Amino acid sequence: MKEAKQMSVSAIQNGTVIDHVPASNLFKVIQILGLDRIENQITFGTNLESKKLGLKAIIKISGVFFEDKDINRIALVAPDAKLNIIKDYEVVEKKVVEVPEIIVGIAKCMNPKCITNFETVTTRFSIVSKKNISLKCHYCEKITNQENLEII
């Protein structure tokens, strides 16, 4: 018989569990989802072992069920994230995140001359590649790739 698994972060009754977040991007995910501005209970664990990711983080948000378009915003920094929807302590749905076609106001354009870097213009990108995530700026058309990706 399979041994009972020890949870490193307590189970929640209702809400969303975001698993398989790269540990190095935990705080970016928190920032993108605005978790620092809500009053719901949030627990997280980080630097947990993951066979796939090396070190992963897990975030449990009680009482919040995200819209797909909102949760997909984390795909830039957590492309392998797995969402578990919890109702009455049970996992009722599992979802993966999908990189959106258009990214509005999450990333910074790497072109220092871009208008978005010296005027208050919300950044806007289209996705050129979903695999190694590269973004094309709507304003200056320069490419910002994964290595240069900076979250604002």
- The residues binding ligand CTP (CB under 6 A) are 7, 11-12, 17, 19, 58, 60, 82, 84, 86, 89, 91
Q: How far is the CB of 19 from ligand CTP (least distance, A)?
A: 5
In the list Zn ion, ligand CTP, none, the entry touching 59 (Cβ below 5 to 8 angstroms by class) is none
Distances (CA, A) of 6 to 14, 111, 152: 19, 47, 36
8 Å CB contact between 109 and 116: yes
In this chain, which of 46, 50, 62, 111 binds Zn ion, going by CB under 5 A?
111
- Binding string, residues 71-110; x marks residues near Zn ion by CB under 5 A: --------------------------------------x-
Closest CA to 128 of 152, 102, 105, 104: 102
Rg of the chain taking only CA atoms, in angstroms: 17
Running DSSP on this structure, what letter comes out for residue 99? Answer: -
Span near Zn ion by CB under 5 A; candidates 58-66, 76-84, 100-108, 133-141: 133-141
Q: How far is the CB of 86 from ligand CTP (least distance, A)?
A: 5
8 Å CB contact between 47 and 54: no
| 3 state DSSP class of 91 | strand
Rule CB under 5 A: which residues touch Zn ion?
Answer: 109, 111, 114, 137, 139-140
